[in-house]
Amino acid sequence: MCESTCSTATRRTLLAAGAGALSGTAGCLRDFRTVAGRDRIDQLELEIRTLPADSDPNAVRIARSLEDRLDAVGVDARINTLTEEQLYRQVLLNRNFDVYVGQLPETTAIDPDALYPLLHSKYGAEPGWQNPFGYADPDIDELLTRQRTSGDTVRLDVAADLQRRLAESQPFVSIAFPDEISAVRETRFYQWHEPRPIEPVNLLSLSRRDDTEPTLRLVTTDPRLTENRNPIAAEFRRHGSLLELVYAPLVRRIDDEFRPWLLERWTRRPGGERSDVEEPGEEGKNLVLRGELRDGLSWHDGESLDSEDVAFTYEFLADTSLGRAESAIPTSRFRGRSSLVESVEPVDDRTFDVRFETGSPEVAIRAFTVPLLPEHIWREYTGAATIAGIEVNDETTDALVRSNDEPVGSGQLRFLEATAGEEVVFERVPDHPVGAADDIPDRFQGGPAFERLNLTVVPSDVVAVESVAEDEADATVSNLGTDSLPRAARSSATSVVSDRSRALYHVGFNIRRAPLSNFRFRVTIARLFDKGEIVDDVFDGYAVPATSPLEQRWVPPDLSWDGQDPVVPFFAGPDGEFDEERAREAFGEAGYRYSDDGELLAEES
């Protein structure tokens, strides 16, 4: 195992402090300390960062379980709850954490290529969901690259080897795949699509009852969209945001299939044919696809959308300074997908050629799912980030920190108005070309059944469910905790709908800091989790234990859940309960010592 310490990302640290959004740094890992004047090693301290119960009751319960187990084995552990914006600033931008509990941003089936930006060492100094762990392993890097370039059969084997290697080193602990639970009512809108009824794109397929006000009323506990509408800001966005309906992609993944959206068609071009490679080590040629935009596309401000905007989008995602900075400043979102693109060449207003870094169409098509950005708006935000006109950080650009109060996209919804912390309102774009297309699924044809969409912020899951039950809202769009379900069951007009999410609950480690840099230490922590018990007690059965971040079809049999994790099994005693003694012995075998008082010391023996 080869691991090194990746440099800490400093981008936007000063900006975050200037905005008053950062929490204090007290409580971070103080390893290998000695108290002045005394020859003793301190007890190991770990801080666990997560969301409060009102925002994510599941995450905080997982954090409490970890805190209890760490305390039991002699670690001074404590939980620090932060708002969602603060948590992701600390973890994704400033890398200021020891351990965190949260969810991955993918909510649909995870392809192995989603792990490329998440774990490749070259992304260790970049912000966002680009290797927030600081993980560096040349073998993992090689496997991540091979899965991008191998043929289908070999790719399956490479993905299996990749997962085995990750299971042995645990840069993060896969805990569970939750069910995404929502409360809906069908008195005004119906045909809530299953699976994933509240996935943003599925809202476009709702039907409206006759003589019903054409306003879709949604409630959430997450206020971020009311405060910031920047589609490329990692701390304000996650997969499943309604902003996906404002900024449309070339292609959407619908019911686990890639379907043309702003694109009318795409075809393979000469000079980029794929090699049908099936032997380990072989790589496909660079794939070239020609795309053709639908006729009549425009931005919400009336400007035409053309192939120059497509080329700009991929250039901008790769470097938001567009060459003005000493080194590229990529976006903190969509990094992995945009990195699949080598170049985009416009042919005419509607036609363009894309050359990819891979020869696999199955991998390449993921790049078409990023949102398009209007060049005439975003090009002016390539300068170094400023506060009140003063440049404060040359490692970020205005594009990455602007709040984008009035977003201009090309989707079927456009922004109307917002009140920070309370509400955001969108309206339907009439006669949108996508709604008139005959090559999209039938349920989307004709466009949305509503004229307006109101998203209102409420303080808790229980209030969200009550809003639906009392006909103040049509659905909840933030994932509900199981504590709120009894309230939904008491209302005959309210239905609870659920579907398996791919937004993995996990425990992430900052590998830049000892002793978390030691894979044996991380593996031992991973064995403190009784994943089956967590599914039963934390999620009330609305989840499945996870041994890998990938969807099940990629998981090899030897890594599949079979009553326990096959690589990092729980420290269970004869009665199935937590065996503290076994866990302490494992920390000792990993090279750590205990004091006479039973405290785990912050120094390896």
What's residue 32's pLDDT? Answer: 37
Q: How many CB atoms lie within 10 A of CB 127?
A: 29
For the stretch 47-83, pLDDT in tens is 999 999 888 889 999 999 999 999 999 999 999 999 9
CB within 8 Å of 362: residues ≥ 6 apart: 152
What is the DSSP-derived secondary structure letter of residue 462? Answer: H
H-type alpha helices, 538-592: 580-589
What's residue 457's pLDDT? Answer: 96
Q: How many CB atoms lie within 10 A of CB 391?
A: 11
How far, in Å, CA of 146 to CA of 282, rounded? Answer: 9
Q: How many CB atoms lie within 10 A of CB 285?
A: 15
What's residue 45's pLDDT? Answer: 97
Per DSSP (E only), the strands in 329-401 are 341-346, 351-356, 384-387, 390-397
pLDDT at 281 over 80: no
What's residue 110's pLDDT? Answer: 84
Written as one letter, the residue type at 217 is R
- 394 band by pLDDT with thresholds 50, 70 and 90: low
- 393 band by pLDDT with thresholds 50, 70 and 90: low
How far, in Å, CA of 305 to CA of 380, rounded? Answer: 17
Bridge partners (DSSP) listed for residue 217: 454
For the stretch 314-340, pLDDT in tens is 999 999 999 998 889 998 889 889 999
How is residue 353 written in tokens? 């050629």
For the stretch 88-97, pLDDT in tens is 889 988 899 9
Q: Is 505:101 a contact under the CB 8 Å cutoff?
A: yes
Percent of the chain with pLDDT over 70: 87
What's residue 605's pLDDT? Answer: 61
Query: Which of 331, 330, 367 minimizes the C-alpha distance to 352?
Result: 367
Between residues 470 and 233, the one the model is more confident about: 470
Mean pLDDT confidence for 282-306: 90
Fold of 247-410: Dipeptide-binding Protein; domain 1 (3.90.76)
3-state secondary structure of 554: helix
What's residue 543's pLDDT? Answer: 96
What's residue 412's pLDDT? Answer: 98
What's residue 488's pLDDT? Answer: 77
- Torsion angles phi and psi, residue 256, rounded to 5: 65, 25
What's residue 237's pLDDT? Answer: 54
pLDDT at 506 over 60: yes
Query: Which of 353, 113, 369 minimizes the C-alpha distance to 258?
Result: 369
How far, in Å, CA of 140 to CA of 120, rounded? Answer: 7
> At how many degrees (to 10) do helices 519-526 and 580-589 cross?
170
What's residue 77's pLDDT? Answer: 98
How far, in Å, CA of 307 to CA of 355, rounded? Answer: 14
Query: Which of 290, 288, 200 minimizes the C-alpha distance to 247?
Result: 200
What's residue 11's pLDDT? Answer: 39
What's residue 284's pLDDT? Answer: 53
How far, in Å, CA of 110 to CA of 504, rounded? Answer: 10
- 26 band by pLDDT with thresholds 50, 70 and 90: very low
pLDDT at 549 over 70: yes
What's residue 274's pLDDT? Answer: 41
Q: Is 134:514 a contact under the CB 8 Å cutoff?
A: no
CA neighbours closer than 13 Å in the CB half-sphere of residue 589: 11
- 37 band by pLDDT with thresholds 50, 70 and 90: very low
Query: Which of 437, 445, 604, 602 minimizes the C-alpha distance to 28?
Result: 602
Between residues 273 and 143, the one the model is more confident about: 143
Q: How far is CA 251 from CA 116, 248, 549, in A?
A: 21, 8, 24
Q: How far is CA 483 from CA 60, 461, 497, in A?
A: 14, 8, 15
Specify the pTM: 0.84
What is the DSSP-derived secondary structure letter of residue 136? Answer: -
What's residue 276's pLDDT? Answer: 36
- Torsion angles phi and psi, residue 74, rounded to 5: 95, 10
pLDDT at 23 over 80: no
How far, in Å, CA of 482 to CA of 496, rounded? Answer: 11
Between residues 133 and 274, the one the model is more confident about: 133
What's residue 127's pLDDT? Answer: 83
pLDDT at 184 over 60: yes
For the stretch 201-228, pLDDT in tens is 999 999 999 988 999 999 998 899 999 9
